[in-house]
Structures are given as C-alpha cells and as structure tokens.
Structure 1
C-alpha cells in the first residue's frame, strides 16, 4: 500500500496551508495513462481522488498529511492498480454533479458520500463500503436530545450544506443553517450560531473524543436513515468501478476492512465481525 507520505494533495485553484499543493484548474488528459488491467487514469502512475476536506474520520489533515478511513480504503484500490493515490480537495457540491470526474481532473470521488438515486443520475457508484447513521448533537445548555426538542424549544439547527443531513432536516420541516464544511458545523456550535446540528454519527464520535467538546455538547437521538456510502466514478467507467468494488469486497473478506474500521472509526457495530 502506498504510504501516507507518498500521497500528493492538490487543491482546485486554491492553496491550503500545511499540505503539498499543486494547482489543478484544468484537465490532465495529456498526462493520462492506464493502470493494471487496462484501467484508465487521468494521470499516469496516479489514482486521483476528489474529496472535500476536512471530514474526519473519513478524510482530514493530520500533521500535514491527509489521512482517514476513505483515504485508507482508496489506498487499497491504488495498491491493486500499481499506482499511488493523489488527493484533490474540491467543493462538496461537485460530488452531486460529477463535475470534476467529467472534466478529467479526478478518477474517483471519496468524501463520505451517501449513495442516492439523484446522485446516480450523474455518477456511477461503487458497492457500498459504509453503513451510515445521522445523529443530533446539541449544546448541553440547550437541553435538547431530539429534533422534537429542537422544534419545541425553537432552537437553531445546523447541518453541512449539500449533505443528506441537511436534506433530512429540511424534510422534517426545519430550515437549518448551512455550513460549508464539518469543521464549520462544529464551530457553529462552539460560537453559538446554532444550538444543535444533524450530521453523520461517525463525525460526532470523532468530535466527542475531544474533552472540550464532550464537556460542552451532548449526543442526542440517533437518526436511522438507511444510508450507505459509496465511491463515485464517471458514468460508464466500468473498469475503475470494478477495481474499486473488488478492493472493497476483498477487504471485507480478508479482515482488512475491519482493521481499518477499528483504526479510523472505532469499535465495529454489534453483529459485525
């Protein structure tokens, strides 16, 4: 598996402090190549991944490197293809449209992204690699433990923009404050912009490992939405999709998936071994 050190992190027409950066504002088609098995890649020797930072524990910066569960799983794909993973940080809204896949800047997108029928219109998804649950996190001061409490107390609710958490909140009759990233969601709670948020449960788990967060916020209701995450590729890219599916399936079968889950997410869900 390529080491974390070997990954190059790119930003789309931007720079981020602490990361190895290369501007990526146009298609890299002239540098395109093939990986093992004739899998097309937008840059020879690389598997270029679109993501949106930060979104711990799936992808985030740690000591100047981008790490996380999604990163580790995609590394398995890159290893099988005989290439190195390169990460491109892009706005999350691009994942719904497949813009950076269609423009030839990325081979796949990995961003803790829920598979939905609407998104399937624009991209092809891998087999599911993660069963997701939403959760409510509220300030202890608010006393809210459910969305019903948020509504009854007329509290301000927040969510990350363009996510299924935001969609769920809207479907329940809320008009949530939209934040651009998960870090911004947490900061909204810290600064009192909102009293509670709806976001993926693993993200909340990560936040609550910080004592300051655990002292200030309380985990409320778990929201079972039946969501599953998938990696996306450009529509019709069957060879890469097959390679991703194989890496996920093999990792589940040989125990690698469970090892990575424990490392980045935490204890396995009940009934899963």
Structure 2
C-alpha cells in the first residue's frame, strides 16, 4: 500500500469561513478535468492528479493512522476509485461536522467524503451520496462483565456518544433517563470506556467489534437494529463523480475485490 499525504485539519471557524468565501469567488480555478472510463463523462477534481478525500480520524478500521500513513477499509475503497481515474488519493483529516454538513465539499477542500458515514435524510439535504457500500448498525460497548446490556440498563448512568453521529441521535431518542456524555472522536470515546469515565458507549458495530478484538477487557454487549448504510458523499450536483464511485464499487463487488477488502479489515465481524 503506497503512502498517502494527510493534510492538516483546519481548526478555526474564521479560517474555514475565509476559505469558503475565497472558493465562491474563484470556483473552478484549481480544478482539472479527468475523463471517466464510462460514458465519456468528465470528472472535475480540486487538485490535478489527485482524488482528495475528507475524513475524520481515527475511525478504525475504516480510516486510521498506521505509522506515517492512513489506512483502512474506506481508504482502500476510495483507492479503487482513484486507480480507475488514474490518479492518487490524498486524505484530509477534518472535523466530522464539516463533512456531514457539506461545508468541506462546498468549500473545495476535497472531492469526496469517506468517513464511515451513514446515509440519512438530513445529510442528504447537504450532500449527494453514492449507493450504499457498507451495512452497519449501532452497538453498545462496556467493560467485560459489566451489567450494561441495553439502554434501559444504563438508566441513571453515563453513556458515551460521538458528537454528530447517528449513535448519539439513537441514544438520545431511546435512552430515557440515560446521561449522555459527548466526545469529539471515537478514540476519546473508547478511552472513556476503558478508564471508567463513562459506563458504556454507543457507536457503529464495525468499529466496536474491531476495538474489542484488540482489547479483551471490553465487550460488545448489545446491538440495535437501526438498518444503517454507509455512503460516500460528494458535493451536491457532482453527478459525474457520484456515478463513477457507484460504477467502481459495483465492479468490485462483482469481481471479488470488495469481499477481499471486507475480510482484510473485519476479520472478527459477524457475517455481513
């Protein structure tokens, strides 16, 4: 796997606002046209020779740092698209809020967003999603042997949630009497479970099963049938790139490449 450049995240609101304003004035000045392999459609990229991906680290095994590079299931899926376009993938680590609101894509920070992101009606107002490429559901993680096996069992207890996620939404809707504690990313969330800062945490099952595989003192104690599906997002109206993503994923499912990547990154997960 080739190393990838990971650009620094933009932290200040004023900087993002200024960038957005600049892009509105100079839209298209940094784009390059790359011919798609199907139908002759033209795909415009924000940086010549690169397919730039916005994501939020860490979210193992979908995207996380390993040494000096970023690896993961989402990274490999987008690499398939980049290879088809004959470009390389570049990854931008940025807060999840800017991804799901469409702000980063609209500002020209990236071509697409791949962040283990569930397709929801609210997000579809701000983004155009590819077809689903991964089935997920919410799950509960706690210290091994703990009594927290449902949201009801956490009444009066602290439940960790990752801000802006469907897990947070589900917990607040269904966890009557449960105190939710918000964390910016999944690494902080899981550390809070390990250290006892919270009694349990909720997040996507793929991430939690992988964490438990490497942390035997924790356990996935419940799963909730939320029927979630992940999609890769593009800027609203970017039909050419969205269609290309769908084309590549469909081909990968048909020729076995998708299954090989699934087995690589989810060795302990239940059968999909």
Task: Quote the offset at 1:225 in angstroms.
Answer: 0.2
Task: Quote the offset at 1:141 in angstroms.
Answer: 5.8
Deviation per CA, 1:8-60, whole angstroms, max 9, x where unpaired?
1112236xxxxxxxxxx845953310122221000110000000000000000
Alignment of 1:186-197 (within 5 A): 186-197=190-201
Alignment of 1:1-273 (within 5 A): 3-5=1-3, 7-13=4-10, 26=19, 27=23, 29-37=28-36, 38-140=42-144, 142-151=146-155, 154-172=156-174, 173=176, 174-210=178-214, 213-215=215-217, 217-266=218-267, 269-270=270-271
Q: What is the CA–CA distance in structure 2 between the aligned matches of 1:229 and 1:53, rounded to whole Å?
A: 17
Q: What is the CA–CA distance in structure 1 between the aligned matches of 2:161 and 2:216, rounded to whole Å?
A: 19
**TM-score normalised by structure 1 residue count:** 0.88
Deviation per CA, 1:120-153, whole angstroms, max 9, x where unpaired?
00110000000001111112364212222112xx
Equivalences, count: 253
Q: What is the CA–CA distance in structure 1 between the aligned matches of 2:125 and 2:220, rounded to whole Å?
A: 35
Which 10-residue stretch deviates more, 28-37 or 106-115?
28-37
Task: Quote the offset at 1:269 in angstroms.
Answer: 4.8
Task: Quote the offset at 1:191 in angstroms.
Answer: 2.0
Q: Which residue of 2 aligns with 1:18?
A: none
Unaligned runs of 5+ in 1: 15-24
Q: What is the CA–CA distance in structure 2 between the aligned matches of 1:179 and 1:160, rounded to whole Å?
A: 5
Q: What is the CA–CA distance in structure 2 between the aligned matches of 1:268 and 1:39, rounded to whole Å?
A: 35
Q: 4+ residue runs of structure 1 moved beyond 6 angstroms?
A: none
Deviation per CA, 1:75-110, whole angstroms, max 9, x where unpaired?
000011111100000000012210010011110000
Deviation per CA, 1:157-193, whole angstroms, max 9, x where unpaired?
1111100001000011344111101100011112221
**TM-score normalised by structure 2 residue count:** 0.88
Q: What is the CA–CA distance in structure 1 between the aligned matches of 2:266 and 2:32, rounded to whole Å?
A: 34
Q: What is the CA–CA distance in structure 2 between the aligned matches of 1:269 and 1:259, rounded to whole Å?
A: 15
Deviation per CA, 1:224-272, whole angstroms, max 9, x where unpaired?
10100000000000000001001111111111000000001226754x6
- Is the 1:160–1:166 Cα contact (8 Å) retained in structure 2? yes
Unaligned runs of 5+ in 2: 12-17, 37-41
Q: What is the CA–CA distance in structure 1 between the aligned matches of 2:48 and 2:212, rounded to whole Å?
A: 41
Q: What is the CA–CA distance in structure 2 between the aligned matches of 1:144 and 1:205, rounded to whole Å?
A: 16
